[in-house]
Structure 1
Amino acid sequence: MNATTGNDANDVPSGAHDVDWAALAPEDADRIPELLGRLASSDAAVSDLHDIIHFPAPGHRAAPEAVDFLVDIACAGTTPATDRYRPLSLLLELVSAHAEDRFPEARDLDQWRDEVAWATANEADKVREQYREWAREAPDEQHYQRMRNRLAVMEHDDGAALLRAELDTYLAVCARVPDLVELLKNSADRGGMDRAGEWVSYVLGFLPSESERIVSEITGASHVLLAKDLRPTPQQPTSFREALNQARDSGEPLPAELFALGLLADPADIDTGIGLTHQMAGGNLYNSYAASVAMVLIHGENTPREALRRIGRGGGTNMGYEGLFNESWPHCGNRSPQVLGFLALGRAGERARRLRLDILPGLIKGEEDSRALVTGVGLELVLGPRSKEHTTEEHASTDYEEETLKVLWSIAELPASAWQDEEFLATLRAWALPDNAEDYCALMGVETEPEEPAEEPEPAPQPAPQAGPAVPERPQGLLGRLFGGGR
């Protein structure tokens, strides 16, 4: 399609009115061209368009047609570098839908194509029943989540069409990789807040079928393959502007580029492996951590011990696991960077077991939106998969080791509100664990502490009138996550 944008930020992209949006998005189709026209300059437009076309909303069938417009807006010379993140953030949401079922292992594109072809060629009831059976028999939590998510999509009247649109969206983004990688090369796109190079790296990381091209472009856009003592020495700057430009052009890889390399690089790529080793020892805490995680994802059970040690050491810093993952990993849907990183470390199998068990208690306690997910992964780590037969008698009679107790006691320490989450309770039942706090704590031999009644808050003093505009509330939903508080 290669639509082009006009000179004004509010111009509707060329060709946007030529698409039959009404046939693809049952609601608000008439708004899509106008939202595309405002996308580069309006956070609200990003949020509104997301609500119409995200997966698996009914309007997601329009997403494959929207991809070219999003890429064109992000890459257009008329779009300021500081605004490119808006279309890229929406593009990320489209390619990372249900990100939890992408980790630790990436999807196989051929298998994905076959599955979509099967789903669209069969009766919906037959497809739903097959997904239910696959979920019951899932060998691990990643496969369980994938089948569960597919079943939820098939509950829509046009579920098979939505599955097809998800695949078509992925392929449409893959077709634009040659344009997207150009955003890695301009210094203006690599510096500052919400830099385009960061957002496009997140998008590229979710395109494993294009890994060879993407890895080549990332390593060519920075000095990731060169140790500092082998890099060209910059001339002494003669002005502040020149110094600023040199800082932008330093050649240091972005932490997000290291995220993408971890998901895409080939273990046999020795040059990239050496480059990541330099980054691990380079003195930049964020890049060291991101490179260490990348090494784990690339080499799996063959990961060098140094990478695992550096990740654990990073978790003990003031930034902690949460802060360090926030600097290098994306926030997709309602899954935080730390949750995605925790899932991805499963690529190393037993090599990363202790590391993941160190991260897990904080996630169980602090990640309400992902509590059921991480609890399931934690129980799988210490008790085996949910498809294995589990019994209450087994739990009552077994003298569990320290690692298992660490997971089970972390659950026992959850507040009362956690025990109102039906998805979390269903996860406990899958391992034959009690689904109420009193019985669970009794089984674990943990005494429950009565919650102290909340004190009545003192009335807040009325603020004195102040001149000037009111401070806006922090935006909620997609806006709040993407633009109101960081990743």
Structure 2
Amino acid sequence: MNATTGNDANDVPSGAHDVDWASLAPEGGDRIPDLLEQLAGSDTAVSELHDIIHFPAPGHLAAPRVVDFLVDIACAESTPATDRYRPLSLLLELVSAHAEDRFPEARDLDQWRDEVSWATANDAEKVREQYREWAEEAPDEQHHRRMRNRLAVMEQDQGSALLQAELDTHLAVCARVPDLVDLLKGGSNRGGMDRAGEWVSYLLAFLPSQSERIVSEITGASHVLLAKDLRPTPQQPTSFREAMSQVMDGGEPLPAELFALGLLADPADIDTGIGLTHQMGGGNLYNSFAASVAMVLVHGENTPREALRRIGRGGGTNMGYEGLFNESWPHCGNRSPQVLGFLALGRAGERARRLRMDILPGLIKGEEESRALVTGVGLELVLGPRSKEHTAEEHASAEYDEETLKVLWTIAELPASAWEDEELRATLRAWALPDNAEDYCELVGAEPEPEEAADEPAPVEQARPVEQERPQGLLGRLFGGGR
């Protein structure tokens, strides 16, 4: 299928009006063709289409049929290079739903197929009960999150159909990898803001079943496999356009490409390993950090110490962990790049423990959307999995080490408003910890944080015009506050 352009609405993109969208997405499905027509040039269209078809919204049943149209729009010659990020950003949201349960270990596609087949073949209540049991008995926080998220989908109407649609959407994107990898190439795709090469790298990173093809294309599109002294000398440009193309596409790998290599490269791929080593020591802070994290993801518990040291050194720069992860990792759903990076570093096990303990306090205090998530991971690090039997008596009599106290005291320093979050309170109860600030602080020997003072109302004569509210949802993440 190739997207076409024309004056007739029925031609843009080709075939969009031939699908019975209303039956797939009863709420808003009839708007899908118009939104697809506007999507390449409209941030609002991206956000509105996302709201209709994101997982696990009821309209996600339409998502597998939307994939080809989005890929065609992104790859069409008629789509300006500066607009390709819009369809790519929506594709990323579709393949990275519940990104928090994809880290540190990637989802196995064959196991995923089997699970969906089981869920669709059995009684819904039986499936829900099994997910409850799996969530309760999960050996670690990643598996607990995954089972809990699947249970939440199954508690909806047509839950098993939504699980099937999520898998079908993933497979539909996998089928278009031969087209998508072309967006890694060329100066127009690799240069400027919101470049297509960056967004398509984020997207491809979530397709591990296609890793061999994707890794080959990434390493072929840049000089990631060559140290600077081995790279070919560019020819003298013969025109201004050629000169600008060389500037935009200097052969340097994009940080997003290094993120993708971390999730997709084979530990036995020596050439890619050496290429990442070149990037670690290449002098570019962003690429050095991204390559170091990639080495952790590729090699896990066999990660070279240098990679761990460079990550820690990056965290100590002015950019900090937050700024460096923002440069190379995507913002998926309501999970920030730093949260996803923190989860992913768990792939190295004990080797990355000090790094994760260094990052954790800032996340517990600063990441409201993911506070319960990272708190659970922190408690797992120091107290063991939630499936282990924990008791209040154990906490009352324990003499905890410095790391454990660091996590417990960080939680104690949360503002009073944080204790109103039921998900955080449930997380604390899972480890038999008090779920109210006063009892919790008494247990860990800390003073409760004072109530946040309400802002004084400004005098009328000093009142300022009300600022326009930042857009929320996907639109807000992409265009109102960065990734």
Pick the TM interval, shorter chain: over 0.9
Q: Which string of whole-angstrom CA distances, capped at 9 and with x for unpartnered residues, describes residues 324-352 of structure 1?
A: 00000000000000000000000000000
Equivalence for 1:477: 473
Note if contact 1:3-1:15 (Cα within 8 Å) is conserved in structure 2: no
Note if contact 2:322-2:338 (Cα within 8 Å) is conserved in structure 1: yes
Q: How far, CA to CA, are the matches of 2:160 and 2:70 in structure 1?
A: 25
Equivalence for 2:307: 307
Change (3 A) 1:486 1:455: closer
Note if contact 1:81-1:196 (Cα within 8 Å) is conserved in structure 2: yes
Aligned-pair distance for 1:243? 4.3
Change (3 A) 1:390 1:229: same
Equivalence for 1:216: 216
Note if contact 2:219-2:225 (Cα within 8 Å) is conserved in structure 1: yes
Note if contact 2:415-2:450 (Cα within 8 Å) is conserved in structure 1: no
Q: Which string of whole-angstrom CA distances, capped at 9 and with x for unpartnered residues, describes residues 359-410 of structure 1?
A: 0000000000000000000000000000000011111111111111111111
Equivalence for 2:128: 128
Instruction: Give unpaired runs (5+ residues) of structure 2.
Output: none
Q: How far, CA to CA, are the matches of 1:247 and 1:156 in structure 2?
A: 51
Aligned-pair distance for 1:249? 2.0
Q: Which string of whole-angstrom CA distances, capped at 9 and with x for unpartnered residues, describes residues 416-442 of structure 1?
A: 111000000000000000000000000
Q: How far, CA to CA, are the matches of 1:409 and 1:117 in structure 2?
A: 45
Aligned-pair distance for 1:452? 6.1
Letter in 1 for 2:477: R
Instruction: Give unpaired runs (5+ residues) of structure 1.
Output: none
Equivalence for 1:4: 3
Equivalence for 2:48: 48
Q: How far, CA to CA, are the matches of 2:36 and 2:211 in structure 1?
A: 29
1:75 paired with 2:88, answer no
SS of aligned partner of 1:39: helix
Equivalence for 1:110: 110
Aligned-pair distance for 1:245? 2.2
Letter in 2 for 1:283: G
Aligned-pair distance for 1:21? 1.1
Change (3 A) 1:57 1:453: closer
Equivalence for 1:430: 430
What pairs with 1:53-64 in structure 2 (closer than 5 Å)?
Answer: 53-64=53-64
Note if contact 1:297-1:347 (Cα within 8 Å) is conserved in structure 2: yes
SS of aligned partner of 2:36: helix
Change (3 A) 1:139 1:256: same
Change (3 A) 1:457 1:348: same
Change (3 A) 1:139 1:449: closer
Note if contact 1:188-1:248 (Cα within 8 Å) is conserved in structure 2: yes
SS of aligned partner of 2:373: helix
Q: How far, CA to CA, are the matches of 2:456 and 2:247 in structure 1?
A: 52
Note if contact 1:9-1:38 (Cα within 8 Å) is conserved in structure 2: no
Note if contact 2:412-2:449 (Cα within 8 Å) is conserved in structure 1: no
Note if contact 1:9-1:79 (Cα within 8 Å) is conserved in structure 2: no
Equivalence for 1:85: 85
Equivalence for 1:399: 399
Q: How far, CA to CA, are the matches of 2:331 and 2:461 in structure 1?
A: 37
Equivalence for 1:271: 271
Letter in 2 for 1:56: P
SS of aligned partner of 1:212: helix
Note if contact 1:4-1:72 (Cα within 8 Å) is conserved in structure 2: yes
Note if contact 2:2-2:76 (Cα within 8 Å) is conserved in structure 1: no
SS of aligned partner of 1:434: coil
Letter in 2 for 1:459: P
Equivalence for 1:20: 20
Q: How far, CA to CA, are the matches of 1:460 and 1:395 in structure 2?
A: 52
Q: Root-mean-square deviation (CA), in Å? A: 1.8
Q: TM-score, normalised by structure 1?
A: 0.96
Equivalence for 2:347: 347
Equivalence for 1:454: 454
Aligned-pair distance for 1:461? 4.7
Which of 2-11 and 289-298 deviates more?
Answer: 2-11
Note if contact 1:9-1:41 (Cα within 8 Å) is conserved in structure 2: no
Change (3 A) 1:417 1:174: same
Q: Which string of whole-angstrom CA distances, capped at 9 and with x for unpartnered residues, describes residues 224-245 of structure 1?
A: 0000000112245687655432
SS of aligned partner of 2:59: helix
Which of 11-20 and 196-205 deviates more?
Answer: 11-20
Aligned-pair distance for 1:478? 1.3
Q: How far, CA to CA, are the matches of 1:88 and 1:363 in structure 2?
A: 28
Q: How far, CA to CA, are the matches of 1:394 and 1:36 in structure 2?
A: 57
Aligned-pair distance for 1:448? 2.2
Q: Which string of whole-angstrom CA distances, capped at 9 and with x for unpartnered residues, describes residues 114-154 of structure 1?
A: 00000000000000000000001000000000000000000
SS of aligned partner of 2:216: helix
Note if contact 2:415-2:449 (Cα within 8 Å) is conserved in structure 1: no
Q: How far, CA to CA, are the matches of 1:156 and 1:256 in structure 2?
A: 35
Aligned residues: 482
Aligned-pair distance for 1:26? 1.5
What pairs with 1:321-470 in structure 2 (closer than 5 Å)?
Answer: 321-451=321-451, 453-454=453-454, 456-459=456-459, 461=461
Change (3 A) 1:240 1:421: same
Letter in 2 for 1:40: A
Q: TM-score, normalised by structure 2?
A: 0.97
Equivalence for 2:155: 155
Equivalence for 1:292: 292
Aligned-pair distance for 1:107? 0.6
Q: How far, CA to CA, are the matches of 1:221 and 1:471 in structure 2?
A: 43
Which of 382-391 and 27-36 deviates more?
Answer: 27-36
Letter in 1 for 2:392: T
Equivalence for 2:170: 170
